Structure 1
Amino acid sequence: MEPGNLTGDSEFLLLGFSEEVELQPLVFGLFLSMYLITVFGNLLLILAVSSDSHLHTPMYFFLTNLSFVDICFTSTTVPKMLWNIQTQSKVITYEGCISQIYFFILFAGLDVLLLTVMAYDRFEAICHPLHYMIIMNPQLCGQLVLMSWIISILHSLLESLMVLRLSFCTKLEIPHFFCELNQMIQLACSDTFLNNMVMYFAAVLLAGGPFVGILFSYSKIVSSIHRISSAQGKYKAFSTCASHLSVVSLFYCTILGVYLSSAATQSSHSSAVASVMYTVVTPLMNPFIYSLRNRDIKEALMRFSGMPALKRPIVLGLKKCP
């Protein structure tokens, strides 16, 4: 095929997971269920925190932002995939593909940065408890979230503009269920050296950097917890960051698993299946992790739904059991 610049009428084909027609209803039902649970679970978490004045703290402020980003993150890819399965079409326009790349990178970057901000919040809460509310004041919390948005918007804009400079063949098949940046660069007919350099540099800076920050925060947290004399104090300090640590582990482990599996198998299909873990499963699991491991969230959800909240004496009594 002759290379050439794409026009507004050009189209891409998203090959998805399977070419077998009989499997399409199963894939549609599975992803529709996961998408609805993700949206409903994160939305319920946002409403429960917003409606409970006891949860108007920095930790839950960042949590509601993370839940909103998770809804947007999964909404960037799954609805289009469901629409293509329902209409038995694999087509996505050039404009639609560029838009999907932009919003996918935007919300993925926000996920990483918000998890880093939440690690810093837990660091201040455990390592400097007496000054926590002074340091993590509403102004600083707003500035941290705003900076996360600004950095993510600039990064996604840069990556999208870099894709716009590429030339493609007249017909393109993307072996994925969404327009993934690396796949787009690999399909380009023009020189992609600069695109690859920008992509790898951004990955190291905006994914590796925050990960190092999270590790540093938790190294200080673990050190502070070890200095606590009582076992009950250690448990209480650790429980305040257990949910966040679980979410961080799930997010980074699934992303690492995607790239290790794709590098080992060199299969685009395997990469597409593995990508489901951090694009769909992680946003799905986040509200469950925070609600199941956090008593305040569970009580807020019960109050929001009209159910009587658990009484503290009962919970304290259960803690004394061996």
Structure 2
Amino acid sequence: MLKRLQIFLGFVVSWIVGALVFPWVFLVIAAAILIWAGVHMGIHKKVHSAGIFFSTVGLITALFATVGFVAQSGGEVDDDDVIAVESDAREVRADAEAKAEGGTAVAEEEEAAGTHVDGGGGGSDGERLTLAAQGVKDALALSKNMGKCNSPDSIGEVWRLLSMNRSVDPGFKKAQKALPKLEGCRKKAAIAHTAKAKKTAIKDRVAFAKALGKELKEHGITAQAKPQGKDKVVLTVKCNKATSKQLNDVTASGAIEEGTLLGRLQAVGFTKVTFAAKGKPLVFELSPASDTARAEQELEELGLSSPFALE
């Protein structure tokens, strides 16, 4: 009796340990046992309802195990790549130190012989390889960080290191594998930056129109400025009591220059401004850069306007 109890307890403990260490394998085994039990009871024992029940539970368990295993393993960045990159970085550092020691000895011999030439700085190739390997590691890590993956500053810094990889370098293949992950972050950041820049530009135009009424009042003109259109690029200024002279004064007779009213309206993105005063309305067509073009210019300044490519 004691022996049977020991065997039973050992069986239970082994199943519990297996479930904790290898949960998906455990579920597959459990599914197989349930399906076997269902088939056995249905065919050999003629207990069809129980056989159908156990078979159904087994199939559901197998499906759950398959979906869970795929979900767990499908969305992860290869940790083996990160480990391999760290190993590469250590090897590169060791090579760089060895080369540096060797280079120092050679430089001392050349200096003693009077043939040493100063390279003028710029760092050794070993140092570049170390930074390039770090760029691969950082690119893989950045793609897993949802917060920094949208940060232009973080992406730019990682790209600065990753772009140090050359086709002749031993770690170039790993760099090529990491590149699409960093490029994915660049695309996300570019889309987010463009959307944010456009939203900010619309807010700026609305704020400018609101402040314009107070500005015109200082010139003796009672006016109400209202931006129109989806992107708020058309501005109508209702100033029924304003005279032609007053409007010529505030618009600098139509001059669109930096510092003038029309120049400032163009700078915030207005394409058309209409002063609805006495008589015929005064209309000015402006030619600002579009919100998208401005965002692209900002992305270019950040180094994120074009797809990343290794040489």
Determine if the TM-score, normalized by the shorter chain, exceeds 0.5. Answer: no
Normalized against structure 2, the TM-score is what? 0.27
Higher helix share: 1
* Higher Rg of the two aligned structures: 2
* Greater relative contact order (Cα < 8 A, sep 6+): 1
- When normalised by structure 1's length, the TM-score is 0.27
